[in-house]
Amino acid sequence: MSHRVLQDATLWGLLPKFDEDLAEQARARGCRCGGVLHRADYPRKPRGGPVALGAGYDRRLSFCCDRDGCRGRVTPPSVRLLGRKVYLGAFLVLASALMNGPTPRRVAALVKLLGGVSERTLRRWSAWWRSAFAESAFWKGSAGRFATPVAAMLLPHALLERFGGDERERLVTTLRFLTPVTIDPARFAMAP
């Protein structure tokens, strides 16, 4: 995997469309009480993408039930955002994958390349993949889907390698695979 995929404008244009599809599916299912869901997005200030992300990145898609007494919130999964994390999912996945085997030289190069991300943050992300994520119920239930086992110490790099296609396709497929993580952030706690 290369950092160049993060400079691919078609990637950044495609991800909001996937999120809109996921949001429409959630809205069509309605609230668990049977009420109608109305759009109730909330603001986000994501980090890690190109300077001009365009429409769709400053809001987290969400819904609110119209029934008095319920007012339940339904937040659909996202390929753009990994739960409450500040950095965009594509950025977090790829930066963490590039940290695979974090030598001082590699870490210094990534800090320079990714601008604004500290060495401490990169190391924290790397540790999260190998500990909290690798021990999560989601990963334990999903890891068996792969014909070749994915070593926790090689996450997320090894996960990206399990999917076919070019770099962009593998990244998008990985983000789609990770969507359950985006709707239950308490199970995957990590500081931004």
Expressed as residue numbers, the domain containing 36 is: 3-183
Q: How does pLDDT run across 167-179, given as a tens digit for each residue?
A: 999 999 999 999 9
| Helix 104-114 and helix 89-98, axial crossing angle in degrees, nearest 10 | 150
Q: How does pLDDT run across 20-31, given as a tens digit for each residue?
A: 999 999 999 999
Question: Tokens 């969507």 belong to which residue?
Answer: 179
Q: What is the amino acid identity at position 153?
A: M
Identify whether 166 is part of a domain: yes
Q: How does pLDDT run across 61-106, given as a tens digit for each residue?
A: 999 999 988 988 999 999 998 877 788 898 889 888 887 766 777 7
User: How wide is the angle at C-alpha 95 spanned by C-alphas 44 and 164, nearest 5°?
Assistant: 105
Identify whether 87 is part of a domain: yes
Identify whether 188 is part of a domain: no
Query: Can you tell me the distance from the alpha carbon of 139 to that of 63, in angstroms, rounded to the nearest whole number?
Result: 27
31, two tokens: 């609230």
Identify whether 191 is part of a domain: no
Which residues, 6 or more positions from 173, have their beta carbon under 8 angstroms from its beta carbon? 163, 164, 165
Can you give the pTM of this predicted structure? 0.86
Which one is predicted more confidently, 50 or 81? 81
pLDDT of residue 26: 92
At residue 48, does pLDDT exceed 90? no
Q: Under a CB-based contact definition with an 8 Å cutoff, are residues 88 and 14 in contact? A: no
- pLDDT tier at 186 (50, 70, 90 boundaries)? low
Q: Under a CB-based contact definition with an 8 Å cutoff, are residues 188 and 181 in contact? A: yes
Identify whether 189 is part of a domain: no
Sign of CA dihedral 178, 171, 95, 144: positive
Identify whether 192 is part of a domain: no
Identify whether 156 is part of a domain: yes
Q: How far from each other are the two terminal CA atoms of the chain, in whole angstroms?
A: 23
Identify whether 190 is part of a domain: no
Q: Under a CB-based contact definition with an 8 Å cutoff, are residues 69 and 46 in contact? A: no
Question: How far is CA 101 from each of CA 123, 153, 155, rounded to the nearest angstrom?
Answer: 11, 9, 11
Q: Look at residues 140, 146, 153, 147 and name the one whose alpha carbon lies nearest to residue 174.
A: 146
pLDDT of residue 2: 66
Query: Can you tell me the distance from the alpha carbon of 78 to that of 130, in angstroms, rounded to the nearest whole number?
Result: 22
How many domains are contained in the chain?
1
Mean pLDDT of 23-44: 92
Q: How does pLDDT run across 92-144, given as a tens digit for each residue?
A: 898 888 877 667 777 777 777 777 788 888 888 888 999 989 998 899 999 98
Q: What is the amino acid identity at position 36?
A: V
